Structure formats: structure tokens, C-alpha cells
Structure 1
Amino acid sequence: MGGHGGLNILPQKRWNVYNRDNRLKVARDEAKYEAEQAEVRARAEAADRERRRQLLLERARQRYGVRPSVCV
């Protein structure tokens, strides 16, 4: 039983990381995750922009006494 040959059963295993189907599945999952993260970042950036915009509008109203209908 010893020696360098041995039993090679890895290609038959479902969890084989070198299997083409498993590599494609991992690539698909990584692409999906990256797309989800890009969407989360985009929403966070949009919320941050809106928050900054509101802050600037409020400062302008306080400083210059600008009516809300003019700034919007």
C-alpha cells in the first residue's frame, strides 16, 4: 500500500476545488458578491451626498437667511 502511487479519488469528490464546475461556481459567487457590494457602496455614497447637501442647505439658510423654496 505504500509508495508513491496510492489511490487518487479526488476528481470524484463533489468538493474538489480543482473541478471546473466548482471553479465556475466560485467565480459566479464572487462576481455576485462584488455586484452586491458595489450596490451597497453606491447607496451609502448617495445617502452621504444627500446628507452633505442638506447640511450645506441648512448652513446657507442660517448664514444668509435664504428661504427654503429658493434653495430647493
Structure 2
Amino acid sequence: MTDLTRLTNAFDACCGWCCGSGPALREFADRNADRIEPRVLSGGLFSGPRALPVAAYPRIPAADRRIATATA
């Protein structure tokens, strides 16, 4: 048995790039399952006093649509 290299992905559900990169990261992890130990760490794009409902950030939906198109 070989030691696996831990790959940590700091993920934030409010980050369009984090969501957009999901399929590529999954494919990478699947192809390298014999070499890496994938781990997801939930992070926070908006924390403390900036932790508001998504509706408080009107630019997020449009940015998410652009990211979805760019990563499709």
C-alpha cells in the first residue's frame, strides 16, 4: 500500500468558480484515485458582518451565469 497525497479543495457554495470547477475536480480525483486522497473543506466567501442572504449581493446571480457558461 502506498501513501496517498492529500488534496484539499477549499470550497464555498456561494462562489461560482468553486461550483464551476466541481466537474473538473471530480474527474481529476477519479483519474488519480490511486495517488490522492481528496478532501473538501467548506469555506466562507462572506463571513462575519458580510454574511448576508445571497439576495443582498445582486451581482452574484449574473456572475454565476457567466461562470456556468465559461465552465460548461
The answer, yes or no, to whether TM exceeds 0.5 is no
- From the two aligned structures, give the one with the greater strand fraction: 2
TM-score of Structure 1 vs Structure 2, range by shorter chain: under 0.3
TM-score, with length taken from structure 2: 0.25
Bigger Rg, which one: 1
- From the two aligned structures, give the one with the greater helix fraction: 1
Which protein has greater RCO, CA pairs closer than 8 Å, 6+ apart?
2
